[in-house]
Structure 1
Amino acid sequence: MTRSKYSLLDQLEQLLKGIAMMKELTLRTRDYLVSFGECMSTRIFAAYMNKLGKKARQYDAFDIGFITTDDFTNADILEVTYPTVAKRLNGDWMDDPAIPIVTGFLGKGCKSCAVTTLGRGGSDLTATTIGKSLGLREIQVWKDVDGVLTCDPNIYANAIPVPYLTFDEAAELAYFGAQVLHPQSMRPAREGGIPVRVKNSYNRHAPGTVITKSRDMSKSILTSIVLKSNVTMLDIVSTRMLGQYGFLAKVFSIFEDLGISVDCVATSEVSISLTLDPSKLWSRELIQQELDHVIEELEKIAVVHLLQKRSIISLIGNVQRSSLILEKAFNVLRRNGVNVQMISQGASKVNISLVVNDSEAKQCVQALHSAFFENGFLSEVEAADVPQNGSLNSNGAIYGN
């Protein structure tokens, strides 16, 4: 598996000739192919560091203990990785200190011993895995934005950085559309209790966003607004008698059998409204033929209404203040003439999700951001929370004058 810096290009040339000759590119071969770029760039960077007088040592992740499942293009890190990586990096540092330059998103299959890739967020996952292995006090992830923002700056230019997040908030943000961090990449840091700081490579003096296990939420209301577009929504109503036993179980068993992931759900005794995320279906967009098959199966037990071109607007924040968030949000949407078609709240302790038409979604995000973050809303809430004729003792009790 070890690759000499002199033989990398020769190996790549041989691999490409083999692919061209066989006219076939398996997932295993694809992982091996895409690994060359990372292996060469880290060698170049380590050489440049050494030229500058900063002693550095290059490592291929699959050679220092990154052991994964054999799910090519989307492998998962196995637990044996942590002690193995720690032993190798700590041992080398003790023998001959040098800055480790490690390839991102690569590993070695536990059974095949072939090169694997870690899928989306794999480079960040590599960083957090090393951080957990070495028990570091902080992990830094460098991006092209000033941390996690209050909304997508491509939707609304007035988005501002969020200074602090919990891992729960960051996971919800990522799951519902934020591109800064993938939930899977934060798992080792979360398990190890290590803070993750998101910094900007193009603005290194910006403080960024610090993600921790918990934070003081007493003054927090809304943290960020996330938009996920091109969502399919289904309204499913039971054709049987009221309270039909097992209706929910039957519906979700159909999605399980077809390998379909459900995003948001709202239920009553005989009806279910839910959304499907195209990107989670068979690693590509759901085509109409497959969607027709889903509906055909569901129509055996229910009446189904298909609603496409919908968007999920997720309000990530302090759900202990959900009444306040919803009051403000619905007032904003009403003034903009927008009807919410579905609301999902409760399963997540940090997320309220609203479903609207795709055509209205960006306008909604802009209006909501302006209302929550730009017009003195937080100051108004803080003023309203302070008793007019009394004071708080250390236990929170109010004493009047």
Structure 2
Amino acid sequence: MIVMKFGGSSVANAERIRHVAEIIQTYKDELPAVVLSAMGDTTDHLLEAADMAVNGTVDIEKVEKLHFDTAKELEIEVPAIKELLDELKTLLTGISMLKELSKRSRDYLVSFGERMSVRMMAAYLTKLGTPAKFYDAWDIGMVSDSNYMAAELLDEVWDNIPKYLNDYKNGKQKEIPIITGFIAKDKHGTITTLGRGGSDLSATMIGSAMGAKEIQTWKDVDGIMTTDPRLVKDAKPVPEVTYEEAQELAIFGAQVLHPRSMIPCRKTGTPVRVKNSYNIKSEGTLIVEKHTGTVPAVTAITKVKNVTLIDIQSSRMLGAAGFLAHIFNQFLKWNISIDVIATSEVSVSLTVNTKADLSGLLEDLGRVAEVKATGDKAIITVICDASHSSAILAKAFDALNKEGINVQMISQGASKVNVSFLVDMAEADKTVQVVHAALF
């Protein structure tokens, strides 16, 4: 058994659905369970409809047109989608009367995208002669807490999923399961969403609970690349990375799996393969617990733009216990997360997302230290074997020096698989190109 996950762009329209259906049919002998996101821009259209409803107008034309037109083009009848659209209209009518959208209502609202997507795909596969059956996530026991918009799956999911899918794995059920990603229900039967990377988490949870041969996540590139191929034309696919490396890649800007989706895989050792839906013969990138061959010195280079550097210095705190504790407590108070950090006894340099409102934080920090915040920075991260960091940095920094690019901060991750440094955002793309040329 394998699990195949396709994102919204992969099922954006009739043409893409046909293509994904062909891929699923190609793998049908391996007993695929398929996890789908909402079609294309459906989630955005649903949120737009919610905004209109809050202002008194109920309009689902964009959502309705996409799904009806797609079904017509695929030449299928999907009465279950019509039922969901009626339910959606009822929900929006309620929102328009209350003139507010709670987190709970929002989760219910955006769930319609995934639910319509799986019904469309199951109907089309069945029409092609490949029996398929749609499942909403709760139909296979996906139970979460009640933290709407960012729910976490409960431990009982590990036992629930096999109860519903073992018949398929054992050959008793012939229909291919087509399952919603991103959503679940809490103990009260209320729909929840799993937050960022939710569809990835749905796929890895199902694959890990079922002891799948592998979990495949389908993208539009040949797996994980040595860097963004839009920046560096000779970027190459990386054959293999570890879970830890994949997590660091995702945290520092690579469009791979969301970091939290690695948690179920790491528990069971279930491999994940990143595949290209436009080049199905490509092996893609395999994500595993440990490298099976020689550990590469450098795996990939990523970047994160729109970063603010905060320098904090206080000679008054020299030798004083609790300086760092006090600093970090202020970040906790204002709910601002830190990306990378470098410290000495009386100074701390760290980076945060520029979108965060820093005014309250900076005011509190200013009471015990001199504080300077500088925007328009970028983090460049080299995913590597940090036991060779001196040689890696020597090559990278020599190349940057020749190009006149100044590094303003450096941090080696505790995981020992990454080294990050800070540059001006205007130089971020060039930095990636220079470092990639030096290290690959």
Q: Which TM-score tier does this pair reach, normalised by the shorter chain?
A: 0.7 to 0.9
Deviation of the 1:190 alpha carbon: 1.5
1:184-263 matches, within 5 Å, as 184-216=260-292, 218=294, 220-263=296-339
Take 2:279 and 2:197, find their aligned partners in 1: how far apart are those partners?
A: 22
Q: Which has the larger radius of gyration?
A: 1
Cα shift at 1:96 = 3.0
SS in 2 for 1:168: helix
TM-score by length of 2: 0.79
1:109 pairs with 167, 175, 186, which one? 186
Distance 1:336 1:136 in 2: 48
Which of 199, 211, 219 aligns to 1:123? It is 199
**2:317–2:323 contact (8 Å) kept in structure 1:** no
Matched, 1:356 2:423: yes
Confirm or deny that 1:336 pairs with 2:411.
no
Say if 1:216 and 1:50 are closer, same or farther in 2 by CA, change over 3 A. closer
SS at match of 1:262: coil
User: Which residue in the other structure is 2:360 paired with?
Assistant: 293
Following superposition, the deviation at residue 18 of structure 1 comes to 1.4
Note if 1:135 corresponds to 2:211: yes
Q: Is 1:153–2:229 an aligned residue pair?
A: yes
Structure 2 counterpart SS, 1:54: coil
2:173 to 96, 109, 112: 96
- Decide which of 351, 371, 375 is 1:275's aligned counterpart: 351
Offset at 1:77? 1.2
- Residues 296, 239 of structure 1: CA spacing in aligned structure 2 closer, same or farther, 3 A cutoff? farther
Q: Which amino acid in structure 1 is aligned with residue 392 of structure 2?
A: I
Residue by residue, what CA displacement relative to the aligned partner does 1:25-58 show, whole Å, maximum 9, x if unpaired? 1111111111112111211111111111112111
Paired with 1:216 and 1:370, the residues of 2 have a C-alpha distance of 26
User: Quick check: 1:59 aligned with 2:135?
Assistant: yes
How far 1:92 sits from its partner (Å)? 5.8
Q: Distance in 1 between matches of 2:295 and 2:224?
A: 19
Task: Give the distance between the partners of 2:141 and 2:127, measured in 1 at CA.
Answer: 28
How much has 1:272 moved relative to structure 2?
Answer: 0.6
Q: Percent identity?
A: 50
8 Å CA contact retained: 2:338, 2:350: yes
Task: Give, in angstroms, the shift of residue 277 of structure 1.
Answer: 2.3
Contact 1:217/1:318 (8 A) holds in 2:
no
Are the equivalent residues in 1 in contact too, given 2:162–2:209 (CA < 8 A)?
yes
| Alignment partners' CA distance in 2, 1:144 and 1:75 | 28
**Which residue of structure 2 lines up, in the alignment, with residue 16 of structure 1?**
92
Deviations 1:224-274 (A, max 9, x none): 001001101111111415222211111111111111111111111111111
**Aligned letter for 1:86?**
P
Write the distance in 2 (CA, Å) between the matches of 1:4 and 1:97.
Answer: 21
Q: Report if the CA contact (8 A) 2:208-2:270 is conserved.
A: yes
Query: In the alignment, is the contact (CA less than 8 A) between 2:334 and 2:360 conserved in 1?
Result: no
Question: CA offset at residue 84 of structure 1?
Answer: 0.6
Supply the AA of the counterpart residue of 2:277.
S
The structure with more helix, counted as a fraction of residues: 2
2:432 corresponds in structure 1 to 365
Which residue identity lines up with residue 85 of structure 1 in the other structure? I
8 Å Cα contact 2:246/2:256 also seen in 1: no
Shift in CA distance, 217/335, structure 1 to aligned 2, threshold 3 Å: farther
Q: What is the match of residue 319 of structure 1?
A: 386
CA gap of 1:5–1:356, structure 2 versus 1, over 3 A, is closer
**Relative to 1, partners in 2 of residues 1:205 and 1:107: Cα closer, same or farther, differing over 3 Å?**
same
- Cα separation, partners in 2 of 1:217 and 1:309, compared to 1, 3 Å: farther
Partners of 1:242 and 1:12 lie apart in 2 by 61
| 1:346 CA drift (Å) | 4.4
Q: CA deviation at 1:24?
A: 1.4
Cα deviation, residue 5, structure 1: 5.7
TM-score, scaled relative to structure 1: 0.86
Structure 1 SS opposite 2:280: coil
Name the CA distance, whole Å, in 2 between partners of 1:122 and 1:241. 43
- CA distance in structure 2 between the aligned counterparts of 1:336 and 1:93, rounded to whole angstroms: 56
Q: Are 1:41 and 2:117 counterparts?
A: yes
Shift of residue 9 of structure 1?
2.3
- Give, in angstroms, the shift of residue 166 of structure 1: 0.3
The change in CA–CA distance for 1:339 and 1:8 in structure 2 (over 3 A counts) is same
Listed as ranges, the gaps of 5+ residues in structure 2 are 1-78
1:324, distance to aligned residue in structure 2 (A): 0.7
Q: Look up the match of 2:56.
A: none
Query: For 1:142, what is the secondary structure of its paired residue?
Result: strand
Runs of 4 or more, structure 1, over 6 Å off, are: none
Superposed displacement of residue 93, structure 1: 5.7
Report the Cα offset of residue 12 of structure 1: 1.4
Q: Which residue of 2 aligns with 1:281?
A: none
Q: Select 1:266's aligned residue among 342, 367, 370.
A: 342
- What's the CA shift string for 1:83-122, capped at 9, x where partnerless? 1111011146655332111111110013x32111112211
Query: Do 1:239 and 1:303's aligned partners in 2 also have CA atoms closer than 8 Å?
Result: no
Equivalent in the alignment of 1:176: 252
Distance 1:205 1:213, change over 3 A: same
> Which residue pairs with 1:162 in the alignment?
238
1:84 to 146, 150, 160: 160
Instruction: Specify the SS of the correspondent of 1:240.
Output: helix
Structure 1 residue 180 displacement after superposition: 2.0
> Within 1, Cα distance between the matches of 2:104 and 2:250?
28
**SS at the partner of 2:246?**
helix
Cα offset, 1:6, TM superposition: 5.8
Segments of 5+ residues of structure 1 without an aligned counterpart are 279-284, 374-401
